[in-house]
């Protein structure tokens, strides 16, 4: 086997194996989020399957090219079908609880794919002509790892950004089919199966019914049934409702947006103020609101065009900056009268680096001395879970006592609006008891 062909095959293996891992992590975001408790096990299972593939490939003693061609063909089918959006959505819709669907996805799609592709380098090094075993394995691993490097960057930063996740899935499957054809030579059966596989992959991936699909999120804009509203439509981000709007005059918005507007415009009487919004959603907070100046920060550079074209159906108001929320508040020199935090990758998932004490301290840093922080949180309606209590305690450890409004008290999950002022400071609190009741003294000091 020529070195050029061998290096091409191991390059394709590296490109598509790590590409499949990146795609898998992205496909999981709408269903289980992107926290470390999801990404770490996913990467761990992938690496375990890859290691087992290395061991299996080392035991292959004949028909090297045919075995690798077969592995590539099966992997192409697993990637093209198993990583398709409609397939992953089906798993998480019909396999409940969520952990069952996750394990089925990992054990039935990602790990078998990694195991099959992991066999490639150990098998093909048997066909390398080299003076030393170390030279043969080293060069093979070099081209495989180079493929992994380029695959992770190309699929995530180029293909997903400009063409969508489904195009990245198809590119991965198509690359593996190219590998099969390079190895199959004149094997008509493998060639025919390759054509069938790539055609099936195209059918699965280019029928995914979404408005837009980027490296960061899946967007769906569609009509909804809401009594008393005129042609209402929803802006869905990663299967979760982010914004609502209708064609009434004035338009109707989601309840939490109306609540935030009431605080800013009615309660605080904001006029000609600078408002920073972390997490763009559907850009409805500033929709047809000419009294203040808005700056939106969202990690997805495509979200504004998507919202304007499909959801708002008109230009959005305010400046838009494509950046990570935490990086922006850590680096900007601008100061704002209000910071609105509405950062969700899915319905209940705030990226973990945006809930820490350090993040909330950063939001305080960019506030003017009399500024206000408004945070939209999705927590249990009774605020009794550890996550709810600890998150609220984290915010108040930076800002002191904050106002907390639960908008849907009867629901298991509710929008919780937190209002904090930059002028406040966290201070120790006491408890009134009959023996030492200082309530009257404290009340007098507070007036």
Q: Which domains are assigned to the chain?
A: 3-209 (1.20.1250.20), 218-421 (3.40.50.150)
Please measure the distance between the N-terminal and C-terminal CA atoms of the chain and give it in whole angstroms: 88
pLDDT tens per residue, range 2-31: 888 999 999 999 999 999 999 999 999 888
How far is residue 43 CA from its own chain's centroid?
Answer: 16
How much is the pLDDT for 77? Answer: 96
Cβ proximity of 154 and 18 under 8 Å:
no
203-230 average pLDDT score: 85
How much is the pLDDT for 347? Answer: 61
How much is the pLDDT for 252? Answer: 93
Examine the pLDDT at 130 and tell me if it is beyond 70. no
Spatial separation of the C-alpha atoms in residues 283 and 242, rounded to whole Å: 10
If one compares 300 and 206, the residue with the highest pLDDT of the two is 300
Examine the pLDDT at 208 and tell me if it is beyond 90. no
How much is the pLDDT for 234? Answer: 93
pLDDT tens per residue, range 317-375: 999 999 999 999 999 999 999 999 998 766 657 888 888 999 999 999 999 999 999 99
Structural tokens at position 442: 């404290």
What's the predicted TM-score (pTM) here?
0.82
Most confident range (mean pLDDT) of 68-82, 152-166, 230-244, 400-414 is 68-82
C-alpha torsion angle, residues 55, 61, 64, 69 (rounded to 10): -50
User: Is the peptide bond preceding residue 250 cis, with omega within 30 degrees of 0?
Assistant: yes
Chain mean pLDDT for the chain: 90
User: How much of the chain, in percent, has pLDDT values that exceed 70?
Assistant: 98
How much is the pLDDT for 131? Answer: 58
Cβ proximity of 121 and 14 under 8 Å:
no
Examine the pLDDT at 308 and tell me if it is beyond 70. yes
239-254 average pLDDT score: 90
pLDDT tens per residue, range 40-60: 999 999 999 999 999 999 999
How far is residue 440 CA from its own chain's centroid?
Answer: 51
């Amino acid at each position: 086997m020529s070195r050029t062909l061998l290096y091409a095959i191991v390059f394709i293996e590296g490109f598509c194996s790590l590409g499949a891992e990146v795609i898998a992590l992205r496909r999981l975001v709408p269903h289980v989020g992107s926290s470390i408790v999801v990404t770490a096990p996913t990467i761990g299972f992938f690496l375990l399957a890859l290691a087992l593939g290395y061991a299996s490939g080392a035991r292959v003693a004949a028909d090297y090219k045919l075995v690798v061609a077969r592995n590539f063909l099966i992997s192409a089918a697993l990637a093209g079908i198993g990583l398709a959006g409609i397939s992953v959505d089906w798993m998480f819709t019909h396999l409940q609880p969520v952990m069952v669907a996750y394990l089925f996805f990992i054990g039935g799609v990602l790990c078998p794919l990694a195991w099959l592709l992991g066999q490639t380098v150990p098998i093909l090094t048997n066909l390398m002509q080299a003076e030393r075993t170390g030279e043969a394995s080293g060069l093979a691993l070099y081209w495989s790892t180079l493929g992994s490097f380029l695959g992770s960057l190309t699929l995530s930063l180029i293909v997903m950004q400009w063409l969508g996740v489904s195009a990245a899935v198809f590119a991965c499957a198509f690359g593996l089919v190219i590998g099969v054809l390079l190895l199959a030579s004149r094997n008509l059966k493998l060639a025919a199966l390759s054509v069938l596989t790539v055609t099936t992959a195209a059918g699965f991936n280019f029928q995914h019914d979404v408005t837009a699909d980027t490296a960061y999120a899946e967007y769906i804009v569609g009509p909804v049934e809401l009594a008393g509203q005129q042609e209402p439509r929803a802006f869905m981000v990663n299967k979760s409702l982010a914004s609502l709007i209708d064609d009434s005059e004035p338009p109707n918005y989601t309840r939490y947006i109306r609540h935030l507007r009431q605080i800013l415009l009615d309660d605080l009487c904001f006029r000609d103020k600078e408002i920073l919004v972390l997490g763009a959603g559907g850009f409805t907070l500033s929709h047809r609101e000419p009294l203040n100046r808005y700056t939106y920060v969202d990690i997805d550079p495509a979200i504004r065009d998507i919202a304007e074209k499909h959801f708002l159906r008109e230009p959005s108001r305010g400046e838009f900056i494509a950046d990570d929320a935490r990086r922006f508040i850590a680096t900007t020199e601008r100061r704002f009268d209000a910071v609105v935090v509405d950062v969700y990758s899915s319905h209940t998932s705030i990226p973990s680096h945006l809930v820490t004490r350090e993040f909330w301290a950063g939001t305080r840093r960019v506030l003017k001395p009399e500024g206000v922080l408004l945070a939209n949180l999705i927590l249990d309606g009774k605020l009794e879970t550890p996550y709810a209590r600890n998150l609220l305690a984290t915010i108040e450890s930076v800002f002191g006592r904050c106002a907390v409004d639960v908008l849907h008290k009867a629901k298991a999950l509710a929008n919780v609006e937190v209002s904090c002022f930059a002028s406040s400071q966290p201070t120790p609190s006491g408890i009134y008891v009959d023996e030492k009741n200082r309530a009257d003294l404290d009340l007098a000091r507070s007036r």
